[in-house]
Amino acid sequence: MRIRCWSAVLGVVALLFCASPPAVAAPLSVWLNPVSGPPGTSVTVSGKGYNTCPDYGSRTVDVLFDGFGTGVTAPIRADGTFSAAMTVPTEATTGDHLVYGRCQDGGEYATATFTVTAAPQSDPVITLRPQTGRPATQVTVRGTGFTACQDNRVEILWDESTTGAAAVSADGTFTATFSVPRNASVTNHRVVAQCPGGDYAHAAFRVNPGQAAPTTTSPPVVTTTTPPTTSSETTSAPPTTTSGQDVVTTTPTSGWPEPEFVTSMPTASQVLDSAAALFPWGILLVIAVWLLVGWPAELFNNTYKKNEPTIRRWLGLRGERKPARPTAWPLVLLFAAIAACLLTWVQAGPGVGRADIAQALGYLIAIPLVAISYEFAIETHYRNGPAGGIARLRIVVPALVVAVVCAVVSRWLDFVPGYVYGLLIAYNDIKARDSDPLRVRAAGVLRGVVLLFALACGAWVLWQFGTHPATAGDATSLPLRVLDTALVQIAVLSMETLAIGLIPIDFLHGGLLRKWSRRVWFAVYLPAALLFVLLLLGPQQTLQREGSRSVDVLKSIWLFVGFCAGSFLFWGFFKWRNRQSHAQPDLTRR
């Protein structure tokens, strides 16, 4: 009996020892990729062991961040694994945070640690829309990268004067609007968005001449993409009222505004004050403009004028008739109107304003006066020379087509300053006057040069001491404004004609004068170049505007180089062709 009992006990023990142990469920686990990053980072959450989650109809896992739902769920695979992508909340603070993978049905969960790091701070940047405008223009300021601003607030400044404040959203962006001050001068102004005691960004706004339209003054209007987390972080604009202190309405004056071309003209005091500081940089600027702007234009114009019969024959156009009657002045006026419209159009802004009208009317006076005075002074001397004869002013129509094309391209590409080739008006004589003695032709050029010198200096002095002080107020009449504008244009166009036309190369009057006498050419060209420098530093300083984008500068430079190369090739081709024709023997004389 005792033996049986021991046998039974040993059998039970052996059975328990040999039997396989029961399966133990694997623990839940979660891991992350990546394990750290700034707010907004996308994180892949993976887990295993979730086949033990109770099945009450939803075999899914909820992903939580610090115990709060993220809205992300993932199905449990047959092997108990899952994978899902979540985004770290933008309001998460720096430090360690727990990411949960929780069974939706049973509530079991596992966690992993994600370390939130500080977001990389980008440099603050602001953009202005528009970037140019007249006084009272509404400007929209958009900023990015202002995450370091205290109290989520940024101040908007105009030339170091605060115009208001704007609220910054959680992602460091803001949008605000302000009005350009009515008394803003016609130049570049600095717009700054600055965190109180911290980072800032700035951009340039160009104020164009023109009368400000009536507007109402108010603090910047702010738009944020994400509201600040607390009410103390928002700087709201004060409520708008209809009281006279909150809304200021101004009635525009009836005066005609000053064109920017005239505004840039240096006065006598400005010339004396800046001459020493600008040299030698002023000379380098003038040389660059000679090479890339004026020289190729004048080179093209005079080359075409000299070889027009050949060009017209190549194009299948009828030759010009010899004049049998005096100059047709309606054609001269038509040329002046076309030239004035083209030159104004390439310099005007997006819309045509009253300043543009005054500038066009000024060109309508200055262009024919300068062109005809110079040509007529030379022509009258030729008429009294050995060749005699009469000549008639005419428009060079094919070259005018080139001028229109250049103006369209300049406007289309927003080319500053505008580029216009082919504005030619010339005398068509009965017989060629190249047979006149060199002394006679050079004396004719000198006569035209002296007249343009007198015209330029007289116009500048009359503007400086006459119309310029008279137009300082806000009630300038249209006739006075046009006269003021025309005097400036006469001075500039006269000096441009001399400084460029007297360059000593073939087909230009400078080449003829230098061939006759080097001393006379130098004595004439030196004062012309000096006056050209002093006047050019004013009206042409648009070449170095502050705030210009590098892409715009490069675009302008390459266009200048292209025009220069094209004009030089045009001139060089006809110079080579004329040499070839002179080198060939005349077989008809044998």
Q: Is the pTM of this model over 0.75?
A: no
Determine the Cα–Cα distance for residues 504 and 518; give it in Å rounded to an integer. 10
Q: Which residues contact 372 (CB under 8 A, 6 or more apart)?
A: 332, 393, 425
Determine the Cα–Cα distance for residues 165 and 180; give it in Å rounded to an integer. 16
Instruction: For residue 559, give the H/E element and its range.
Output: helix 550-583
Q: What is the pLDDT of residue 16?
A: 44
Determine the Cα–Cα distance for residues 383 and 456; give it in Å rounded to an integer. 25
Q: What is the pLDDT of residue 3?
A: 52
Do 291 and 350 reside in the same domain of the chain? yes
* Domain CATH for 89: 2.60.40.10
| Number of domains forming the structure of the chain | 3
* Collapsed DSSP state (helix, strand, coil) of residue 558: helix
Q: Does the residue 411 lie in any domain?
A: yes
Q: What is the pLDDT of residue 223?
A: 36
Q: Does the residue 21 lie in any domain?
A: no
Domain boundary among 116, 135, 159: 116
Do 317 and 428 reside in the same domain of the chain? yes
Per-residue pLDDT 10s for the chain (590 aa) are 455 555 555 554 454 444 444 444 568 899 999 999 888 888 999 999 888 887 777 788 989 999 888 888 888 888 889 999 999 998 888 899 999 999 887 678 899 999 998 766 667 888 888 888 888 788 889 888 888 787 788 889 888 788 888 888 877 888 888 888 877 887 788 899 988 767 788 888 888 775 444 433 333 333 333 333 333 333 333 333 333 333 333 334 456 777 766 766 776 666 665 555 555 555 665 566 556 655 676 677 678 777 877 887 787 766 555 554 555 567 777 777 888 887 777 776 656 677 788 888 888 888 888 877 887 787 777 777 665 565 666 666 666 676 777 777 766 765 544 556 556 555 555 445 556 678 888 888 898 899 989 998 899 889 888 888 887 655 778 888 889 888 988 888 888 778 777 877 666 787 788 888 888 888 888 888 777 766 654 434 433 333 334 444 444 455 557 667 777 888 888 888 888 776 665 544 44
Q: Which residues contact 198 (CB under 8 A, 6 or more apart)?
A: 148, 149, 150
Do 88 and 144 reside in the same domain of the chain? no
Report yes or no: 73 and 53 within 8 Å, Cβ to Cβ. Answer: no
Q: Does the residue 519 lie in any domain?
A: yes
Nearest to 168 by CA among 192, 149, 140: 149
Backbone φ and ψ of 78, nearest 5°: -65, -30
In angstroms, the first-to-last Cα distance of the chain is 160
Q: Does the residue 341 lie in any domain?
A: yes
The pair of three-digit structure tokens given for residue 208, joined into one six-digit string: 């164009």
According to DSSP, the β-strands at 109-116 and 36-37 are parallel
Do 470 and 437 reside in the same domain of the chain? yes
Question: Could you tell me the residue range of the domain that residue 289 belongs to?
Answer: 260-577
Q: What is the pLDDT of residue 540?
A: 40
Do 53 and 172 reside in the same domain of the chain? no
Do 433 and 469 reside in the same domain of the chain? yes
Report yes or no: 521 and 510 within 8 Å, Cβ to Cβ. Answer: yes
Q: Does the residue 193 lie in any domain?
A: yes
Strand order in the sheet with 95-103: 36-37, 109-116, 95-103, 60-65, 68-75
Do 97 and 76 reside in the same domain of the chain? yes
Domain boundary among 116, 136, 159: 116
Do 525 and 480 reside in the same domain of the chain? yes
Do 211 and 133 reside in the same domain of the chain? yes
Nearest to 297 by CA among 499, 529, 526, 522: 499
197 CB burial (10 A radius; 0-12, 13-18, 19+):
exposed
Q: What is the pLDDT of residue 134?
A: 80
* Domain CATH for 201: 2.60.40.1930
The pair of three-digit structure tokens given for residue 331, joined into one six-digit string: 């054609």
Nearest to 258 by CA among 415, 487, 485: 485
Determine the Cα–Cα distance for residues 369 and 139; give it in Å rounded to an integer. 41
Domain boundary among 90, 116, 142: 116
- Whole-angstrom Cα Rg for the chain: 40
Q: Does the residue 268 lie in any domain?
A: yes
Report yes or no: 99 and 86 within 8 Å, Cβ to Cβ. Answer: yes
Q: Does the residue 213 lie in any domain?
A: yes
Cα separation values, 581 from 303, 492, 525, Å: 16, 39, 32
Do 105 and 180 reside in the same domain of the chain? no
Q: Does the residue 246 lie in any domain?
A: no
Do 481 and 528 reside in the same domain of the chain? yes
Do 225 and 323 reside in the same domain of the chain? no
